[in-house]
């Protein structure tokens, strides 16, 4: 049990990366075989950040703009992403996931949810309730932090 904010923070630092590694592994294992991991990551990022710029994708991926542009071009050729020019600044583009790209991501999410459900079926109902309450509390803490950061920047 974590009695202090420091102990709770330490618990988060230990368990969240393990959980995220498992979720990412499950999501990626369910991608279509002809979609590389970087392509899948870029597609998922744009899905979470509809209208993202090429720079935002490059920053997320840790790639240069030219490398990201090539990656996005492949996703566009495969009709998984669309690119719209910004009418105000032609140097900026908005990236959006197509219905085909959304379908690939949805299949991956659905399979991952099934995996997580199966994993959570092995714990008691009380533990699942504790997990639900804990994640609800984390959502409140971190969503409010994100909203405050959005106002500041």
Per-residue pLDDT tens digits for 81-121: 999 887 777 778 899 999 999 999 999 999 999 999 999 99
> Considering the entire predicted model, what is its pTM?
0.73
CA geometry: angle 101, 58, 152, nearest 5 deg: 105
Length of the chain: 153
**CATH of 5-122 among 3.40.1160.10, 3.60.10.10, 3.40.50.410, 1.10.10.10:** 1.10.10.10
Q: Where are the domains of the chain?
A: 5-122, 123-153
pLDDT of 2: 63
Q: What does the buried/exposed string (b/e) look like for 67-82 if buried means 16 or more CB atoms within 10 Å of the residue's CB?
A: ebeebbeebeebebbe
What is the C-alpha separation between 72 and 80, in angstroms, rounded? 9
């Amino acid at each position: 049990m974590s009695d202090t904010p420091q102990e709770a923070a330490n618990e988060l630092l230990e368990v969240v990366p393990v959980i995220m590694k498992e979720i990412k592994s499950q999501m990626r294992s369910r991608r279509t075989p002809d979609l590389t991991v970087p392509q899948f990551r870029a597609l998922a990022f744009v899905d979470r950040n509809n209208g993202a710029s090429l720079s935002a994708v490059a920053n997320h991926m840790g790639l240069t703009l030219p490398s990201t542009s090539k990656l996005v071009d492949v996703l566009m050729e495969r009709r998984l992403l669309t690119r719209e020019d910004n009418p105000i600044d032609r140097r900026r583009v908005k990236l959006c996931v197509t219905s085909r790209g959304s379908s690939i991501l949805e299949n991956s999410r659905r399979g991952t949810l099934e995996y997580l459900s199966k994993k959570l079926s092995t714990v008691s109902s009380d533990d699942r309730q504790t997990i639900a309450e804990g994640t609800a509390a984390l959502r409140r803490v971190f969503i409010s932090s994100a909203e405050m950061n959005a106002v500041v920047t």
